[in-house]
Amino acid sequence: MSGRSVIEVRGDDPRAMRLARSLHTEMSGRYGGDGSSAPLPVAADARWLLVLGPDDEALACGAIARMADPSPGRPLGEVKRFFVAEHARGRGIGADLHDRLVELARSAGLSELRLETGTVQPEAIALYESRGWRPIQPYGQYAADPRTRCYALDLDDEVRA
């Protein structure tokens, strides 16, 4: 990550919260919302990563939150609030952040990650599919929305080269 650093921060870090608000605003625009409905909060014990530029500007954020484990012994996590600031896109920051989140999930002992994205986010879909995520049935709060695309990544597989 030339000229960038990735740090773990608390979920209430103001820089991460600014990026999460930008994510919400952008998604409201893409999906035709007015921005008045807030996304569900991320679990308090989620682990957040923040990508900082050379001048310590917050460029991207993402979090890993534990999910209920439907299969004993196979701990699950979910990627939450994955976002790269618009002016920072196209420089590989999303791919780098993705890989660091996967490392964080593995170090936390998770066996699988899941995530939700949507049909009007083709760049997100392309990133996840290029990183080996496989489509799964929409789950939880996303199950009834036809614009939802959910994915899973098996962390027990060999580490990507």
CA pair distance 104, 64, nearest whole angstrom: 8
CA pair distance 148, 70, nearest whole angstrom: 21
Could you report the per-residue pLDDT of 118-144, keeping only the tens digit for each? 999 999 999 999 999 999 999 988 899
CA pair distance 124, 31, nearest whole angstrom: 15
Backbone angles phi, psi at 60, to 5 degrees: -160, 155
The closest of 148, 8, 39, 29 to 86, measured between CA atoms, is 29
Instruction: Decide if pLDDT at 34 tops 80.
Output: no
CA pair distance 101, 113, nearest whole angstrom: 10
Q: Output the CATH code of domain 5-154.
A: 3.40.630.30
Could you report the per-residue pLDDT of 42-97, keeping only the tens digit for each? 888 899 999 999 999 999 999 999 998 767 778 999 999 999 999 999 999 999 99
Is the torsion defined by CA of 28, 31, 34, 38 positive or negative?
negative
Q: What is the pLDDT of residue 130?
A: 96
CA pair distance 94, 7, nearest whole angstrom: 15
Could you report the per-residue pLDDT of 94-121, keeping only the tens digit for each? 999 999 999 999 999 999 999 999 999 9
CA pair distance 143, 155, nearest whole angstrom: 23
Backbone angles phi, psi at 66, to 5 degrees: -70, 145
Domain locations along the chain:
5-154
